[in-house]
Amino acid sequence: MEPNCDSAMPTSLGISLDGLELRLLSKRGIHWPDQQTLFIADTHFGKEATFRSAGLAVPRGSTQSTLTSIAQMIVECRATRLVLLGDMFHARSSISEDIRELIDRFFTAHPTLRFTLVLGNHDRGIHKLSNCWPIEIVDSGTAIDEISISHIPQQPSPQTKLLLCGHIHPAYRFSSQVDSVGKLPCFWLSNQQLVLPAIGEFTGTQVIRPSKSDRTWVIADNHILPI
Three-class DSSP labels, 101-146: HHHHHHHHHCCCCEEEEECCCCCCCHHHHCCCCCEEEECCCEEECC
β partners of residue 188: 195, 216
Domain containing 134: what range?
Answer: 12-226
Calpha distance 224→26 (Å, rounded): 6
Distances (CA, A) of 19 to 78, 146, 151, 174: 22, 10, 23, 31
Residue 150 lies in a domain: yes
Asked whether residue 149 is domain-assigned, the answer is yes
Looking at this protein, which amino acid is placed at residue 117?
Answer: L
Residue 73 lies in a domain: yes
Radius of gyration of the chain (CA): 17
Residue 4 covered by a domain = no
Dist. CA 219–CA 22, nearest whole Å:
16
- Say how far residue 39 (Cα) sits from the centre of its chain: 6
List the pLDDT tens digit at each of the 227 positions of the chain.
344 554 444 489 999 999 999 999 999 999 999 999 999 999 988 765 554 454 444 445 578 999 999 999 999 999 999 999 999 985 565 577 888 899 999 999 999 999 999 988 767 666 666 567 899 999 899 999 999 999 999 999 999 999 999 999 999 998 765 556 689 999 999 999 999 999 987 677 899 999 999 999 999 988 999 99
Contact predicate 193/179, CB 8 Å: no
Residue 81 has a pLDDT of 98
At 100 the pLDDT is: 87
- Give the CATH number of the domain where residue 52 resides: 3.60.21
**Count of structural domains within the chain:** 1
Considering the domain boundaries, does residue 3 fall inside one? Answer: no
20 belongs to a structural domain: yes
pTM of the full predicted structure?
A: 0.88
- Predicted confidence at residue 192, as pLDDT, reads 96
* Amino acid 223: pLDDT: 92
Q: What is the pLDDT of residue 24?
A: 98
